[in-house]
Structure 1
Amino acid sequence: MSSATSAPTETQRPRISARIGGIAESATLAVDAKAKALKAAGRPVIGFGAGEPDFPTPPAIVAAAQAACADPKNHRYSPAAGLPELKEAIAAKTARDSGYRVTASQVLVTNGGKQAVYQAFATLLDPGDEVLLPAPYWTTYPEAITLAGGKPVDVVTDAAANYQPSVAQLEAARTDRTKVLLWCSPSNPTGAVAPPELVTEVGRWALEHGIWVVTDEIYEHLVYDGATAVSMPVAVPELADTCVILNGVAKTYAMTGWRVGWMIGPADVIKAAGNLQSHLSSNVCNVAQRAALEAVSGSLDAVAEMGAAFDRRRKTIVEMLSAIPGVICPTPHGAFYVYPSVQDLLGKEIRGRRSATSVELAALILDEVEVAVVPGEAFGTPGYFRLSYALGDDDLRTGIERLAALLGEAR
C-alpha cells in the first residue's frame, strides 16, 4: 500500500480532540480529591477545598427517595426536560423564594448545576461570541463558555469593591461580540452579595445593550447580616426575555451528590436546551428528582438550621484569618466561602521555601501542615485563596490554627 493511502499516524491525528484537550480539571474537585486521598492514606488532612455542606440531607428528602425506589413508575424513562410535577414545584418555589413568576414550560431539570451551566452557554452562544465574566469567578464558568464555542472576557474586581463589577467596568469590556453577562450572587468564590441597587443598574445596562444575562442563584438562601439575594429579572422585569437563571438543590439542601439542578428562562431557549439534553443525557435520575420534589416543596426549617451553623463558622474563620499577619480577609455576606488575599506573603521565606504564586503557597501549606486550600489562580485572580467553611467547627478551628502557625513563620 502506498504512503498516500496508509492510515494516519498518531502524530498526524491527535488522540484527544483540541476541544476537550483544552479543558482543565476542576481545581476545586482536584484539591478535594487530593485531600481525601491523603486522608485515606492515614494523614490528618483538613480540606477547605470543596463547597460541600457537611450536613446529611434532611430525613424527609431521604424518605421520599426511598419511597421512590420502590415505585415501578420511577424505574422507566421519564420526560427529558424533567418530571412535570417537579417542574411545577420549581416554578412555585421560585415564586416563593425570589418573587420571580414562571411557568413549568420555562423550567428544565438538569443533572446538577454544572449541566445547567454548560447547556445555558451551549444554547445561547455561537462561535466567537463573548461572555463578560466578573472575576473572581467559579472555576467551571470559563471552561463551559469555551467548550460551548464562546470567549470568556474577564472583568477583574477586588476586595476594595467588595468583588463587585461596576457598570463602567462592564461597559469598558463590552464589544460588538458581547452576547452574555454571567452573574453570580451570592458569589462563589468570594461570598459577596450584590446590593439591590447594583443588580438593578447592571440589569438595566444589559437590557439597554441587548445583552443576555445568565444568573447563577444556587446560593440564594445562604445570606447573612441582613443581606438580600435579589434576582435580576425581579429587579428589572423587562429583562425576563433575555435572562436565564441557574439553580439547584445541592447547596441549600445538602444534596451535592444527588445531582439535580435546573435552568429557568424563555420558553424557546428552554425548549432548545431540552432538545440538547434529550441527546446528551435524557432524563435526570427519577429517584433524585423525587427527592428534589420533596426538597423544593417542603419546609425551609432545615435550611435555616444549616444557615445558622454556616453563619457561626463564617464569623470564626474571618476572625482567625484576619489575625494572621499578611492575610487580608474581607467579611463575606453570602454562600459559605471566604476569599482572603495572601499577596503580602508571596516571596517570603517559610520553612526554607519561597512561594512566588498562590499555587506554590497552597502546595507548601498542604505539604507542611496538611491543610488543603484552593489558590486564586483557579478563579482568575492570583494571590488569593478560597476556603470553604462548610466543614465541622472543630476541623475549621484546627485547620486555621495550623495555617496561622505556619504562615506566622514567614520572613
Structure 2
Amino acid sequence: MGCGIWVLHYMVMQAHHHNHVINYNIQITLASLLIAIVGCTLGFVCFLFKKLRRKHYLLPALIFSATAASMHYLGLTAIINAGDWYVSNTNITLSLIVIFTTSLMMLRLTHLMLVMTGKNDSYANFYRLGATLTLCVGVAIMHFLGSCEINMGSMAVSSAASSQDAYIENSLAITIIVLVALVFMLAIFIWFINFKEHLSNELLKKELIMKNLQLKQMTQHDSLTKLPNRLYLQAHLNTQFNSQTEPLFIMFVDLDGFKRVNDVWGHAVGDELLVKISRSLKSVVGNEGFVARIGGDEFIIVISQKDKDTVIQLAQQLLATISDRYELSATTVDFLSASIGISVYPEHGKDVATLLKKADVAMYYIKDKGKNNVTFYDEVEMTLPC
C-alpha cells in the first residue's frame, strides 16, 4: 500500500501544471518512498490491534495522514528545478484535514470489509472498493492542495547538468515503472490467493451445510419412513406450546395386527408396509396437522382444532385408511386396523411427556376394549401407570 500511495503521489506531481519536465533528487525521493512504506505498515499494524485502533480509528488514521503528508512535502523538497515555491498555511491545513478525514473513512470501510468477509462477499467487495477509492481521492486532493501554488522556475543548465538531470529523470521513471509493475503483480497474486482461499472456503462451507443437514435429518427423522421422530416431535410440541391459543390434540396411533406381518413375512415386508402406512397418514392429515413415527408401529399425529367432533371425524378417517388393502412385494395385507388414543393440551397437561403418556393410556384402553376405535383420555376411567 505504501508503494501504491508513493506512486500515486509522483504521478499527481507529474500531472500538475508546469511548463517543463521536472526532476527530483533521487535520495530524497527514495526517502519519501521509505516513509510511505514504513508509515503505512505501522498504520495497518495499529489498525489490526483492537486496543490501539480503539473505536474511532483515530491513532491509525493519524499515522496514515502523517505518512501521506510527510511523503508529499518531502517530495516537494526533492524537486530540483522548483524555483522559489511557497504553500499557504490555509492550503497546508486543508490538505491535512482532507487526508486525515479520508483516512478515517478508509479505515472504517476497511473494517466493514473485514467484518463482511465470509458473510456477504458482495458487500465485502463493495467496502474494499470504497476504501481504495476513498484513500486515492484523499491523497490526490491533498497533493493538489499542497502544490497548487508552486512555480516551477526555469533554469539555464549546462550540457553536463542536462545529462545529469536526464539520468535522474530516467532513474526515477524506471523506479516508478518497476514499482507500479511490482504493486500490480502483488495485487494480482494476492487476489489469486484470496480467490483460491475464498473458493475453497465456499466449497467447504457448502459441504459442511450439506453434512449438517444430513446429520439433522438423521437425528430428527425416522430413517425408514422419513417422518419426524420422537426428538423432533418433542421440539415441535414445545414450540407450539409457547404460541398455542387453540386446543392441541395429540393422537397416539398404534397398528393392530402388525406383529403378524413381521412374524409371517419378515421385517423387510413389515418395513415396506410401514412406509405405505406413513404415506397414507400424511395424505389424510395434509396441512392440518403433524405426523411423526416414535418407534415400531406407533405414530403420533398433532392437530390444532377448536371442535372435538372434527378431530373425531379425522380419527375415523385415519382408521378407515389404515384398514385399507395393501399390495406388498411378498403378499397382500387386508387385516390391519388401528387403535387411537387422544390427549388434549392444555386440558390433560402442559408438557410433552404427560400428554404423550395420557394419549398412550387412552390408546391401550381402547385396544383392550376391542381395538379399531378411537377415544379421548378420561381422568375417571383411565389411570396412569405408576
Range class of TM-score, shorter chain? under 0.3
CA radius of gyration, larger in: 2
- Asked which structure has the greater RCO (Cα within 8 Å, sep 6+), the reply is 1
